[in-house]
A and B are shown apart, each in its own frame.
Chain A
């Protein structure tokens, strides 16, 4: 089971996310994360989907996605070098006198403390999913009260030719 990142350029219309999500349910594909936002072209959105499966499952998934009328193109981003980023907000148990100690953890990750309360604070971190996972391991001992992650957005690197669309 390999992890894959796929980009789908889709019509920015009501119900398109439902169509994509339904397809995953109907065909039994996994969704690890899905993000949707505007693309460079007005009227079109870009979805970044991370999924896991073997080559045959990936092939089916991309072909079935491509069959949706509202899907303009499907690209397998993770087959070539890509940039992938995720944003996470992490609320941990901590008092203000632990701030220096926590800064020592947060700084190497280029994360920042964005809110401080009497018994908790919020850390904001961006990076690929593995980096966020690593930070979470270090924060675990303090007690994580709340965690929210955006899921990955990704783009192929410029130096390689753009992957062929399906």
Chain B
């Protein structure tokens, strides 16, 4: 356990829950969180949550005080993605609540279970534009799986129970509970329901035998089948079922960006990522496949390029997803199975047989050999891809890697071959800059014994780098790897390619000295500007027991390739430099 600060040691004994005891809403809320086995709460106090923070004083619950609510919710999100357990965040009314918005939308897009608790002004002031009042249930309506405004303290335990249930079942997602201050102060006898009954919510769908049979029937005769495995595999903890299914059927596996890690990156059947910056082989596989089996994917526009009619033109598409609304949403499918991908694969596995794919696999192998991800090495200059390769080689694909959004995110996807599930933590859907670093804090708290690397750009890091304070305060040993190209690299790349080199507002050369910045927070800071320095500095960072920030100053002109331009189809790949 590397988290050493006194605040994090769990010295306090589990409180007696005291059913029937008169408790305030705030006290009841914390009892509910304990009953939900919440390990960490991330948050930031303020006026409307004073009763909750008062109850937290001396509580058994471990609270991480971030330096911004956005840091809190991304940390809760990182915790949730790393564990599959719901992340919990508390913020005050008004600005505290609105600072959660980006984090809630991030979680919603990537189906991450979160329970977000916000305070609000007392009910007699609701609707009066009171100090720090915001209609957060209205604001978050389109970006939550569900939300609640608590009107009566007697409803609070039931609502908390429902919130955890809704967040974690079916297709997971964020749930927000808005608690006005008077409800936090009101008293009621404490209870906690032992089960949830929500008439309009039946999340568990197990596919029928007929559906499974149909699913297998279509696969059996395929000569060029390919599995497209997405974030649903990770959400359902179905990585072992996927591995067994692929090996038994001899069907190669493409992982979407959100699915990376759900299938071993170096497996003989692994084809890595498709789409805009995907591998040549993965994209060719989709173009030439006669059968595409989508498992927990949503065929988003970074894979179909928005050209849904031309997607996988030679294939019948089979789609398994827990969310029936995803079936037939983006692409036309031949067979759809509404169901949890874990139970679907478990049910299908005993009846599955090997497909005749040896010729197809040989073709894919040939493409992989001819068109690997590649970049031009230059003497003296440090290439960003080289840094990611270094991270991969030294951690053998076993680390948890969080990223921000942009070039470095794509290079992580391309060059870091994840060996296990829940190891790539990145905002795939919303594409949230500033996500990676706080998310790494949550992931490291969840897994104190694993190496957690936060790969960030110099742009995104500066959106949430104030959370360095927590690394220092709690001695959380995250390794922050800054791919510092002194500009907003992905925007610069697009301006180079599509806007005739007109580099508009992408220059970040006036960033702080990141080594000194780290040191200002009591965190070790290191820097590398050449390949040799990179190796030396990285092994020093890995050997260091505590948190480290490493400023890898890379060549600024590097672009992410392969690339399919927006509006083009997957056969129009630009391969980049030899």
Contacts and interface: CB of A to CB of B under 8 A. Distances in A.
A56 B324 CA distance: 13
Contacts, number: 35
Contacts of B324: 63, 66
Contacts of B142: 22, 26
A71 B200 contact: yes
Contact of A68 (B149, B200, B329): B200
B369 to A, nearest CB: 41
Contact of A63 (B137, B146, B200, B325): B325
Interface in B123-162: 137-138, 141-142, 145-146, 149
Q: Which one of B138, B199, B329 has the greatest number of beta carbons of chain A within 10 Å?
A: B199
Interface in A27-82: 56, 59-60, 63-64, 66-73
Given A15-B137, A18-B141, A70 B200 contact: yes
Contacts of B137: 15
B166 interface: yes
Interface string A136-160: 0000000000000000000000000
A19 interface: yes
Nearest to A65: B325
A11 interface: yes
Contacts of A67: 323, 325
Contact of B146 (A26, A69, A72): A69
Contact of A11 (B138, B141, B200, B323): B200
B325 A72 contact: no
B141 A69 contact: no
Nearest to B202: A66
A60 to B, nearest CB: 6
Nearest to B146: A69
A11 B201 CA distance: 12
B166 A19 contact: no
B198 interface: yes
A19 to B, nearest CB: 6
B148 to A, nearest CB: 10
A110 B243 CA distance: 69
A59 B328 contact: yes
Contacts of B145: 69
Interface residues of B, number: 17
Contacts of B166: 69
Contacts of A22: 141-142
A159 B149 CA distance: 43
Given A18-B141, A22-B141, A69 B198 contact: yes
Contacts of B328: 56, 59-60
A85 to B, nearest CB: 27
Contacts of B199: 72
A19 B141 contact: yes
Interface string B312-334: 00000000000111001100000
B160 to A, nearest CB: 15
A56 to B, nearest CB: 7
B325 A69 contact: no
A149 B328 CA distance: 35
Interface string B325-367: 1001100000000000000000000000000000000000000
B200 A72 contact: yes
A67 B191 CA distance: 29
Given A15-B137, A18-B141, A64 B200 contact: no
Nearest to A73: B200
Contacts of A56: 328
A60 B329 contact: yes
Contacts of A59: 328
Central interface residue in B166, B200, B201, by most chain A CB within 10 Å? B200
Contacts of A10: 200
A10 B198 CA distance: 12
A55 to B, nearest CB: 10
Contacts of B141: 18-19, 22
Contacts of B323: 67
Contacts of A60: 325, 328-329
B138 A64 contact: no
A26 B137 CA distance: 16
Interface string B477-520: 00000000000000000000000000000000000000000000
Nearest to A11: B200
Contacts of B146: 69
A69 B329 contact: no
> Which among A56, A67, A71 has the greatest number of chain B C-beta atoms within 10 A?
A67
Nearest to B198: A69
Contacts of B138: 18
A16 B285 CA distance: 45
B353 to A, nearest CB: 33
Contacts of A14: 149
Contacts of B149: 14-15
Contacts of A26: 142
A30 to B, nearest CB: 18
Contacts of A66: 324-325
A46 to B, nearest CB: 14
A19 B147 CA distance: 10
Nearest to B329: A60
Interface in B195-211: 198-201
A57 B485 CA distance: 44
A68 B199 CA distance: 11
Nearest to A26: B142
25 contacts: A10-B200, A11-B200, A14-B149, A15-B137, A18-B138, A18-B141, A19-B141, A22-B142, A56-B328, A59-B328, A60-B328, A60-B329, A64-B325, A66-B324, A66-B325, A67-B325, A68-B200, A69-B166, A69-B198, A69-B200, A69-B201, A71-B200, A72-B199, A72-B200, A73-B200
Interface of B: 137-138, 141-142, 145-146, 149, 166, 198-201, 323-325, 328-329
Interface of A: 10-11, 14-15, 18-19, 22, 26, 56, 59-60, 63-64, 66-73
Given A60-B329, A68-B200, 15 more contacts: A14-B149, A15-B149, A18-B138, A18-B141, A22-B141, A60-B325, A60-B328, A63-B324, A64-B325, A67-B323, A67-B325, A69-B166, A70-B200, A72-B199, A73-B200
Shortest beta-carbon contacts, A-B, top 6: A63-B325, A69-B146, A72-B200, A26-B142, A69-B201, A22-B141
